[in-house]
Structure 1
């Protein structure tokens, strides 16, 4: 029993040293680390007090819980990062660096991770399905990289994620969107600047708590599903610009009563604007420019009392826009 207690005690006191060694080993595997001089074996016992970008658990102050390396001008890969040796990590921020290569599947061992941001790097390959093991995750951003393939359905079902940004990559549609559920806590979803085509992602209609949705710069080549208007009534921001979408706009658009910003420019939408446009809505920005809308500028535009910006150019409207809009002291168009 005394031997066992000694070994357990030794393991606990050695964990900060072990974590420091792991981080130094990863640092030494990188190509460029101009701002990590404090990560040194000569400074190994001061991990929790003097190491830049490292925060230790506030309760024990003996184990790494947060790593913030955003904008540290780092270059290299994650293949020398021993994820399993940092079991108490809750925040990992590598945003705005020059990391490249794929994400090792071992990242799935970070079972306590809450915040994960690998945005604005040069990562490639597919997203490992092991990300779906991170059941405590709340914030997930891989934006502005070069990921490809389909987003694993395991990732889209994480129960606590409220913020998901996979914009600015080369993600493609999976064989079947029906295999995907939706994160019940999700309020922010950005899938813009990808290669989704041609089916509109049906799982999004299950994301009833969304307030922000950006699907711009994809290739959906179809109409807006009617269920979007009825299922996503909490939306405040909707961007479907440059999606090669077509067809008329439904009068159910007015059901998005919380919408403040609507961007649908540079598509192939046609027909007339819904006569109840802006009815009961609080729109500040309306952009439907560069489509194939036609008809007289509708008097329903007078219902858009909260507008600050409107874009109707590049369509086939007729009539006098000033008369249709009425008086808007702060409106730009």
Structure 2
């Protein structure tokens, strides 16, 4: 009699070979959902910009299902946005309509030398994977989130800066920042480059800076700070 039932050996093979397809489909669904959210967030921001700026982003199309081939956008191999780089792109507008919470895999944001203005959205603090944020040479105002430098910014440095634990570079130089350096800086253990010179910062340096051991650049000149330098800064280490 013909045996129509698969053997135990065949069942094992079928089960093993089926799992890669399940896994691939699972990752595809996650990537597709993330991509759709990224497209929606970027298009919402685009239409909020001034008309000339919208023309500069002509590759950002309504009929797109992925932003990975748009100008200024980079993605990982799963189609998730990891970089926005609009350096010197002449974009004019605010960031209030850019929903950063849709970009949980962002590693790098560069909006250096544009015409962005207004306050910064609070959800930029929630980008836990972010290692580089450059909004230099714009016209922002208000409270300063992590790693923003060379803007016409004013206000104190928020303690929530310590939530961005993956930061490696912090550029807040040549602004109008005042008040003390928050103790939460001690949470930034991967920080190697910090430039806070030419502000109005005051008070003692927080002892929590001792938690940061691999300094390469440490610039605090032209402020009103007091107290001893962190131990690892005095040692020199990798400082240049």
Pairwise CA distance, 1:146: 2.7
SS at match of 1:167: coil
SS at match of 1:79: coil
Determine if contact 1:192/1:217 at 8 Å carries over to the other structure: yes
- In structure 2, relative to structure 1, the CA distance for the partners of 1:163 and 1:152 (3 Å cut) is same
Q: State the partner residue of 1:29.
A: 48
Which one has a larger percent helix, Structure 1 or Structure 2?
Answer: 2
Determine if contact 2:185/2:209 at 8 Å carries over to the other structure: no
Pairwise CA distance, 1:36: 1.2
Match among 185, 193, 196 for residue 191 of structure 1:
196
Determine if contact 1:213/1:235 at 8 Å carries over to the other structure: no
Q: CA RMSD in A?
A: 3.2
- In structure 2, relative to structure 1, the CA distance for the partners of 1:229 and 1:13 (3 Å cut) is closer
In the aligned structure 1, how far is the partner of 2:159 from the partner of 2:235? Answer: 24
Aligned residues: 213
Match among 163, 168, 182 for residue 169 of structure 2:
163
Does 1:217 pair with 2:233? no
| TM-score computed with the length of structure 1 as normaliser | 0.55
Q: State the partner residue of 1:101.
A: 118
Does 1:63 pair with 2:80? yes
Tell me: higher relative CO, structure 1 or 2? Use CA pairs within 8 A at least 6 residues apart.
Answer: 2
Q: State the partner residue of 2:8.
A: none
Where do 5+ consecutive residues of structure 1 fail to align?
A: 1-5, 132-139, 238-259, 261-333
| TM-score computed with the length of structure 2 as normaliser | 0.73
Determine if contact 1:205/1:232 at 8 Å carries over to the other structure: no
List per-residue Cα deviations over 1:115-174 (Å, max 9, x = no partner). 22212211110125xx5xxxxxxxx3x111133232123314643322111111111123
Where do 5+ consecutive residues of structure 2 fail to align?
A: 1-24
Pairwise CA distance, 1:11: 7.2
For the pair shown, the structure with the greater C-alpha radius of gyration is 1
In the aligned structure 1, how far is the partner of 2:116 from the partner of 2:126? Answer: 20
Q: State the partner residue of 1:41.
A: 62
SS at match of 1:55: strand
- In structure 2, relative to structure 1, the CA distance for the partners of 1:192 and 1:22 (3 Å cut) is same
Q: State the partner residue of 2:105.
A: 88
